[in-house]
Amino acid sequence: MRQPIMIALWLALLLWNEAPVAHAQAPATAGAEPTGPTAAKLTWEDAIKNGVKQHPLIQAAQHGVFETEAVGKQIAAVDYPQVSGIVANSLGNTRVLSNLGISGSLPKPTNYLTDPGVRVELLITDFGQTAHKLLANKSRTASAEKLVLTSKALVILNVEQAYLACLKQQRILAITKETLAERRLIREQAESMYRHKLRSKLDLDLATVETAKAELDFIKAKNDLVAAFAALNAAMGRQGPIQYILDEIQPTVSSAPPIEPLFRDALDRRPELLGSKDRTQAAEEALKAARALNYGSITGVGASGYGWWARQEVVSANGNPNNPGSQLGWWGAGFSSTTPLFTGFRIEAEVEQAEANKGVAQATTRVIANDVVLEVAKAYLNRLTAEQQIKVAQERVAHAREALLLARERYKASLSTILDVTTATVDLLNAETGLAEAQYGYLAGNSALAYATGAEYGRY
């Protein structure tokens, strides 16, 4: 007899230090909205748009597109003239060549040359190496753009799921608040009957313990709601457990469409699958570029400069130095052709590597396609399950409410015990919680199915 009383007193003392329940923040679904300086209105559409606009996952993917575009500019640079300014100076046995290089082909020091000039090189053809590299990089850029869409679709899904989780937690908070009010009423009723010697002290102790449990459940629900808001902020790319006033979304249950068209839609629209196909195309172009290495390249070369020339000093018979010199502007043009004859099997290895990369890309595409089909099937079945659970949960709630009403009336008439009322209260709490789980599970299933079929990201 003492142990339940001590437990009840200890819980009451613990809850005395907490914020008064009467002033607790009520959920939006219960008719009251979160209060406080940080509460702000947040609609479903605004939450998604905020996530798409500021989530770092999407921003990182966008920078990946910029990177591949910059790589494409680097590859295309070889199609433009390569202009270099050169200053060459030779002494002794070396001399300056017409392309502003240095050569040491003379048997003895004969002259001194100083040549500033400009050298121009232009790739005439590399037999498709650069062209296929550009096509490969173009496909990689397209794949990077699909990664942006993939990130956007994932962010939208996470925001929707987090938004629904907040709504569900608000509903659970309202349920726990109603349960707390119900148990307080039962406790008052048991206390009144105990004072009038109609019930034993055991009924009052049990009602007090159950009320304390309901208060703990209410506190936990409040904390879970704060955590749900923090998760919503994280899904939108924000920081901090800021609370919001959310729009209530009522599930409109409708019959599920046929699943076969959903498979086709997903295979046609999922961005990660489209990006994998782009990577396969990039691997094919890279393979063609590797094979083109066998043909070498042809390059045009042009040079122009101004030279100062002087011979080695020669001393005449009378002892005077003889060092005549001259100045001359000059230019020249030509071409060079290189064809690899034997590279130690390097080109062959590059071709094998490109073929292997192509095989990896093709296999990865098939894996992603299989995963997409599986995701559609799971999302479809989860939605179907939640749809059926809603009907069962609604009937369960109706029966639980009738049972609680009957148990309370029977308790007033001394036809049942306090345990029957407590059990009926627990049954109603579980039934209403199950209904909330089913309803918001149905909405979350719709979001998951829209993500799996690629039907959502195109709207944002």
Give me the DSSP letters along 85-96: EEEEEE-TT-EE
**Residue 173 pLDDT more than 70?**
yes
Is there a contact between 165 and 283 (Cβ–Cβ < 8 Å)?
A: no
AA letter at 288: K
- 315: phi then psi, degrees, rounded to nearest 5: -90, 125
**Residue 35 pLDDT more than 70?**
no
The pLDDT of 107-124, averaged and rounded, is 82
Is there a contact between 236 and 39 (Cβ–Cβ < 8 Å)?
A: no
Percent of the chain residues past pLDDT 70, beyond the cut: 87
SS3 state at 65: helix
**Residue 413 pLDDT more than 50?**
yes
Domain ranges of the chain: 2-80+126-296+339-459, 81-125+297-338
CATH class of 2-80+126-296+339-459: mainly alpha
State how far the Cα of 107 lies from the Cα of 130, in Å rounded to an integer: 43
- Helix then strand then coil, % of the chain, to nearest 5: 65, 15, 20
Range with the largest mean pLDDT of 248-252, 318-322, 329-333, 447-451: 447-451
Q: What is the pTM of this model?
A: 0.80
Range with the largest mean pLDDT of 17-31, 119-133, 239-253: 119-133
In sequence order, what are the residues at sequence separation of 6 or more whose Cβ sits closer than 8 angstroms to the Cβ of residue 68? 137, 140, 141, 144
pLDDT of 23: 29
pLDDT of 108: 64
Mean pLDDT of the chain: 85
Q: What does the chain come to in residues?
A: 460
**Residue 86 pLDDT more than 70?**
yes
Q: Regarding predicted confidence, which is higher, 313 or 82?
A: 82
Sheet with 111-125, edge to edge strand ranges: 82-90, 111-125, 297-311, 325-338
**Residue 322 pLDDT more than 90?**
no
